Homo-oligomer: A and B are copies of this chain.
Amino acid sequence: MWSAIGAVIPFTQRRAKSVSALGETQLIAAIRRWLGAASPRAPFGMGDDCAVLPAGHRPQLFTVDPVIYGEHFDNTVPPRGVGEKLFKRNLSDIAAMGGRPRAAVVALALDPRMRLAWLEGFYLGLTAVSRRYGVPIVGGDVARHDGGIVATMTLVGEATGSRVVTRTGARAGDWIFVTGVLGGSLASGHHWKFSPRLAEGAWLAGRREVRAMLDVSDGLAKDLRALTPPGAEPALDAAALPLRRGCDMRAALCDGEDYELVFVVTGKTDTAEFLRAWRRSFPRTRLSCIGKFARCGARPAGALNLEDYHGFEHLR
């Protein structure tokens, strides 16, 4: 049942090795074991009707994202990678507001034929990310879902300083930056191997020249629209786009699942000085100034026309 590259099919015909051999009560006990210290005791963790979090004194953040078998992962992603991906794509949303994650809950809809070994790997992936970023898993739900696997995580977080950075606030004339490299997320395995840009997002929220931010999930060409102010259009410099090795510009603009931060700084910013400040804080995270927002119709000659590119459109 193991494929050549070590991935494991989530389902088994051997009942003794499946979730149905345990049933709900024993399965929840196993999940607690797998989570270990990543899950505090009730009422601050699993085991009551709700988890209890201490009152927060800053604006709270609240986000949800799933991983679905056949959509966000397949048999080529190891179960541990699936758990890591679920956690990290939610962390990336907190990073995109410049926030700090506080606690997570996980709801799992699964087929009773699901392989216990697969599920253990999945939870060990969650546990590893929980430990790495110091975010406890405080609750969840396990329910039967014949024929599928849907794991949904919800994260609560909070602002790291006095503000959160939203998608709104860019103006014509502002500079556009992006972290890391773009494109080829699926083929390279980046879609589950990436690191959420939490430290970078928090640093950016502390810089007054940063006006707006998001993380790239459906491709820069699509996601940039959400940052674009009314009456403006992005004017990107094709040569400045940071491409993953082996990727062309179309891949960088359209593939999606980059989980990099795109943000906007005021047009008055000294971009060279900004890049130097960045490198002092994040010497290992590439940062690229990829263009500006221009007034509609005033896109400079040579700037990319993003209307020729489309990001990932779900549910088509």
Write the residues of chain A forming the contact surface with B, with a CB cutoff of 8 angstroms. Answer: 19-20, 22-25, 27, 42-43, 47-66, 68, 70-72, 92-94, 96-97, 99, 103, 105-107, 109-110, 112, 138-148, 150, 152, 154-158, 164, 166-168, 214-215, 313-316
Contacts and interface: CB of A to CB of B under 8 A. Distances in A.
Contact of A315 (B62, B139, B144, B148): B144
Contact of A53 (B62, B71, B152): B62
A31 to B, nearest CB: 12
Given A42-B167, A71-B146, A145-B148, 4 more contacts: A49-B94, A55-B55, A64-B105, A109-B152
Contacts of A20: 315-316
Nearest to A158: B55
The A interface, classified by DSSP as helix, strand, loop or mixed, is mixed
Contact of A313 (B24, B145, B155): B24
Given A50-B157, A94-B50, A316 B23 contact: yes
A138 B105 CA distance: 17
A97 B155 CA distance: 20
Given A215-B49, A315-B112, A145 B62 contact: no
A139 B65 CA distance: 10
The number of times this chain is found in the oligomer is 2
Nearest to A23: B316
A62 B314 contact: no
B68 A313 contact: no
Contacts of A57: 55
Nearest to A112: B315
A48 B97 contact: yes
B49 A60 contact: no
A146 B106 CA distance: 21
B156 A62 contact: yes
- For the complex of A and B, the 6 pairs showing the least CB-CB separation, nearest first, are A154-B154, A24-B314, A49-B96, A50-B61, A50-B63, A53-B60
A129 B158 CA distance: 27
- The residue in A24, A50, A54, A105 that gathers the most chain B C-beta atoms within 10 A of its C-beta is A50
